[in-house]
């Protein structure tokens, strides 16, 4: 099987940026909310390293993985609705309190905006969690568009969110680049026909980012902005 063709990073007019693990280190928020939920079920707390491995494919998958530590598959489904409701209640109560914006994010967004690039945030996080987090961290004003995992019929790694941004911006996929920390972002971008860059400091379901099929690994959004400008 031939390796996929690498398109040059030229002609970029818009950037789609992931949220958790790319712009904001939200693992501490997940950790607190999940363990508060688990306390209601009389389950032992999970270490943050385990929680990080479960992050990235949406809240439903996260909750099933968390419950799967202690329950068989049939019992996971039996407990799912109650656990999800408890998790969402706890998460909304602390959303952003334990999180922090990664180094280079604000500087990178400023540079992209100065370059005239249009910006969209596409995350698998529910939109009711994503918008308040962007507001709390001061990142919301940078983005023309924000799509959460429940904003559209399909979420990443499906290409629909990326294609929807391209349509909304009236741009071809080749004019749009996605930046994320996981295989979800890269697979969605590749399937949509967008370029993609990966940051190495996020979650990626506990897997090494070097295994992701992307157009390059960048240490920060500021470096990504410089690469796009070049």
* Residues annotated as catalytic (active site), given as ranges: 18
- The kind and range of the H/E element at 24 are strand 24-25
* 137 CB neighbour count, 10 Å cutoff: 18
- For the four alpha carbons of 114, 120, 125 and 131, in that order, the dihedral sign comes to positive
CA separation, residue 117 to residues 163, 166, 225 (Å) = 17, 13, 10
- Gap between the Cα atoms of 72 and 186, Å rounded: 31
Decide if 30 contacts 51 (C-beta within 8 A): yes
């Amino acid at each position: 099987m031939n390796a996929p063709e690498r398109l040059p990073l030229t002609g970029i007019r818009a950037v789609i940026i992931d949220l958790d693990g790319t712009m904001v280190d939200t693992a501490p928020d997940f950790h607190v909310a999940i363990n508060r939920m688990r306390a209601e079920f009389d389950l032992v707390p999970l270490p943050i390293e385990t929680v990080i491995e479960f992050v990235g494919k949406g809240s439903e998958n996260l909750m099933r993985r968390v419950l799967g530590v202690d329950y068989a598959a049939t019992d996971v489904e039996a407990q799912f609705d109650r656990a999800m409701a408890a998790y969402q209640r706890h998460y909304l109560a602390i959303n952003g309190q334990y999180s922090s914006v990664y180094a280079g994010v604000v500087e990178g967004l400023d540079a992209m905006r100065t370059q005239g690039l249009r910006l969209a945030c596409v995350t698998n996080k529910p939109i009711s969690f994503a918008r308040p987090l962007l507001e709390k961290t001061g990142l919301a004003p940078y983005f023309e568009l924000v799509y959460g995992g429940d904003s559209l019929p399909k979420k990443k790694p499906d290409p629909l969110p990326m294609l929807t941004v391209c349509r909304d911006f009236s741009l071809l996929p080749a004019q749009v680049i996605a930046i994320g920390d996981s295989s979800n972002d890269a697979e969605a971008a590749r399937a949509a026909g967008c370029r993609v860059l990966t940051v190495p400091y996020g979650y990626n379901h506990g897997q090494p980012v070097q295994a992701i099929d992307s157009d390059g690994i960048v240490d920060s959004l500021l470096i990504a902005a410089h690469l796009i400008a070049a």
